[in-house]
Amino acid sequence: MWMFGLMSALLLTGIPVPPASPADEIERKIAALLRQMTLEEKLGQLQMLDGDVDGSYRPDHLDLVRRGLVGAFLNVRGARRVNELQRIAVEESRLKIPLLFGFDVLHGYRTIFPVPLAEASSWDPEAVQRAASIAAAEARAAGVTWTFAPMVDIARDPRWGRIVEGSGEDPHLGSVMARARVRGFQGHDYSASDRVLACAKHFVGYGAAEGGRDYNTTDMSERTLREIYLPPFKAAVEAGVGTIMSAFNDLSGIPASANPFTLTTILRGEWKFDGVVLSDYTAIEELMAHGLAADGAEAARYALDAGVDMEMVSRLYSRHVPQLIKEGKLSMATLDEAVRRVLRIKFRLGLFERPYADEARERAVLLRPEHRAAAREMAARSIVLLKNEGHLLPLSKTVRTLAVIGPLADDQRNLLGPWSGDGRAEDVVAILSGITAKLGPTARVLHARGCEITDCSSREIAEAVRLARQAEVAIVVVGESAEMSGEAASRASLDLPGRQLELVKAIHATGTPTVVLLVNGRPLTIPWIAEHVPAILETWFAGTEAGHAIADVLFGDVNPGGKLPVTFPRSVGQIPIYYNHKRTGRPPNPTNKYTSKYLDEEVTPLFPFGYGLSYSQFQISHLQLSRQRIRPDESLTVSVEVENIGSRTGDEVVQLYICDVAASVTRPVRELKGFRRITLRPGEKGRITFTLGPEHLGFYDRQMQFIVEPGEFRIFVGTSSVGGLEASFEVVQ
Ligand code: NOJ
């Protein structure tokens, strides 16, 4: 009314009428479409159907597209195939509404970057953003408009295979990475021809699956939900993520895909999210298996009412919503709102104007040399040096005989890791090839598998030992297969599978200096290796350029600077083990039996969160606080000097942790609140400044209000979650 009044007034005065904003224009078009849509066509927009793993579509889906009964596909990819389906939607369906094409592009489309957990080990959000933007460019060129990424689930249990897909255990690191990935995928405007719509998943709590068993129940306090599991989603929403995927798990009694508290109260109400919520694969149908819904109609009603707009694969909305509306159990307004949101992202993606992918562009963009170069750099930045006794690493390039041993030494396929998009094994640089390429023809590089990942014969080990004896250095590449992490890949043991530890022991026993390279998607329990083997590199699943990147680090062309984004336990019995735990009334005390510990295991981890070495050494000093006392709404700065006191240029990740000493709700021993990766030449110094404000110092009080409470705060600035320089300040009323 008011707008109308203003417009007519402007017309009367002769002042030019401002053109409608693009957003208004979109809303107008959506309203016009909605007016024309039948109930079936509306429900069609809320339906996502699956293609095949190889990227093709099912012929029986064509007719559904023609009738306007599908809004989106997953897994269908490749410009030609996407265009075939899209043509039916925009030329043969009644309302000509384009389709969305979604795909799991988690760490690359064709050029595969390190797995997300590895990328998080870089503690380098700019690099992570760049990787996501390259993944987006390749995916969009192949007709994919929507990635089911970033996966931002906090994971405190390494038995859970999906820990590999996220950024580890910490909400701050997880939030920084979530933001970086959303920006990388979507850019400023996801209608651009080199960007895709992102989807933060799995909302929410999925990473807290009991026992680390995938799809299992989660049950947590609202405080834990808000302080640990929600922050990366909030960060993604603040960064403008267009969509959210609702998770499989039961969340404290109300499954996440039917949870009005998380999906509506928090996501839409508190965070003002205006994008689309998509269910995970058949998660709506699974509301029956959860024992929440008695039948399909009830499942559809629960999910749509709670705020799930689009249904992936199961088809309960299209089957039951008409009847539910007729019976007054669901309102047309709720349905229209969901349809409006889906149409809005289609308009924002520019699909109505440019529905097709460009096949020539696809050929030109995939696996570009500069994409491979970026993947190599990202992989090298993701590597974590866990041990380097006697400066065994870096190895000299003048080494004459080297033995490269292990089931993953000459492997291509597994290095892609899980969720490897359209990555191809034949594109991957194996570790053996990377080393051979680095050393050239002058070196003798001997190779034996020694064993398989899960089984082996004593003869194979003997052959590997024979080669190791002839070499100046033995590199043993051990770990997991790609299938051992990712979805439905929980493990009850975190030991090296099969007889790989036996292989490592046998090689080490030759007396040839031994380096262990770990290829894996989660923390492994490797106490023997950590104690006996002089050098260990955590290389994760490093992607297409793995071999080159690992060789860059092994021979010192790159100085490793990654840090663990997750705690490495000594044994599975310690899990859950994460750095930001509460203090307990009886903190562990070795001289008192009646304190919190194990009879048969240490309480400390094998490698702590934030840990990682360099070929250089760094010294942190001159910790300074801008103020000793602040009010709850004020900020202070914390700065330190960091100096490279070693003899090589290298990177250090300076980390800032806080501890709220006493509060009305117990607080963790430490919480990460800032970090910075810095490169310094030998002898070079840098000063790093962090700002600590209310968003870092606050917590949810007994009434679930986010507040900053007066009292003492301790801070720690160091190179991992253990030790560091200490200071304190006070918040006063
Ligand atoms: C199920 C997984 O949980 C989810 O992460 C993925 O995006 C969908 N499948 C689609 O592949």
Q: Where are the domains of the chain?
A: 1-36, 382-574, 618-731
Ligand 1, residues 105, 279, 281, 312: which to mutate, most atoms within 8 A of Cβ? 281
Question: Is 90 exceeded by the pLDDT of residue 220?
Answer: yes
pLDDT confidence of residue 57 = 96
Question: Angle CA(197)–CA(259)–CA(234) in degrees, nearest 5?
Answer: 45
pLDDT given at position 5? 42
Could you read off the pLDDT of 646-690 as tens digits, one per residue? 999 999 999 999 999 999 999 999 999 999 999 999 999 999 999
| 488 CA distance to ligand 1 middle (Å) | 11
- What mean pLDDT is predicted for residues 569-582? 98
- Residue range 165-173: mean pLDDT, rounded: 98
Q: What pLDDT, in 10s, does the model give residues 459-488?
A: 899 999 999 999 999 999 999 999 999 999
Q: What is the pLDDT of residue 6?
A: 44
| Chain segment 110-121, per-residue pLDDT in tens | 999 999 999 999
Ligand 1 geometric centre to CA of 245 (Å): 9
In the predicted model, what is the mean pLDDT of the chain? 96
The encoded tokens of residue 139 equal 């995916």
Q: Give residue 513's pLDDT.
A: 98
Measured CA to CA, the distance from residue 467 to residue 474 in angstroms comes to 9
- Over range 546-575, report the average pLDDT: 98
pLDDT band with cut points at 50, 70 and 90 for residue 18: low
Instruction: Assess if CATH 2.60.40.10 describes domain 618-731.
Output: yes
Q: How far is the CA of 376 from the centre of ligand 1 (A)?
A: 27
Helix (H) or strand (E) holding 386: strand 384-388
Q: Looking at domain 382-574, what is its CATH homologous superfamily?
A: Glycoside hydrolase family 3 C-terminal domain (3.40.50.1700)
The number of the ligand 1 atom at minimal distance from the alpha carbon of 75 is 11
Sign (positive or negative) of CA dihedral 416, 420, 423, 425: positive
Q: What residue's CA is closest to ligand 1, atom 7? A: 148
- The CA distances from residue 70 to 47, 96, 303, 579, in Å, are 5, 12, 18, 46
Atom of ligand 1 nearest to the CA of 201: 5
- What separation in angstroms does the CA of 18 have from each of 3, 4, 9, 208? 11, 12, 12, 51
Q: pLDDT tens for residues 354-401? A: 999 999 999 999 999 999 999 999 999 999 999 999 999 999 999 999
Query: pLDDT (tens digit, 9 = 90+) per residue, 602-614?
Result: 999 999 999 999 9
pLDDT of residue 458: 82
Residue nearest atom 1 in ligand 1 by C-alpha distance: 281
Residue 280 C-alpha to ligand 1 middle, in angstroms?
A: 6
- Report the alpha-carbon distance of residue 59 to residue 590 in Å, rounded: 67
Q: What is the pLDDT of residues 130-142, one digit of tens each?
A: 999 999 999 999 9
pLDDT at 8: 44
Q: Candidates 53, 74, 77, 104: which one to mutate for ligand 1, based on the most atoms within 8 Å of Cβ?
A: 104
Predicted local distance difference test score (pLDDT) of residue 16: 61
Q: Give pLDDT, residue 10.
A: 44
- Ligand 1 — pocket residues by CB below 6 A? 74, 104, 148, 201, 280-281, 487
In angstroms, rounded to a whole number, what is the distance separating the alpha carbons of residues 13 and 22?
Answer: 25
Distance 281 CA to ligand 1 centre (A): 6
**pLDDT(128) > 70:** yes
Distance between Cα 312 and ligand 1 center (Å): 9
Mean pLDDT across the stretch 294-318?
Answer: 98
- Locate the ligand 1 atom nearest the alpha carbon of residue 247 and give its number: 3
* pLDDT grade for 21, boundaries at 50, 70 and 90: confident
Residue with CA nearest ligand 1 atom 3: 280
pLDDT on residue 179: 98
Ligand 1: residue whose CA is nearest its atom 9: 281
**Would you please indicate which residues are annotated as catalytic (active-site) residues?**
280
Residue nearest to atom 4 of ligand 1 (CA): 280
pLDDT class of 123 with cuts at 50, 70, 90: very high
pLDDT attached to residue 472: 98
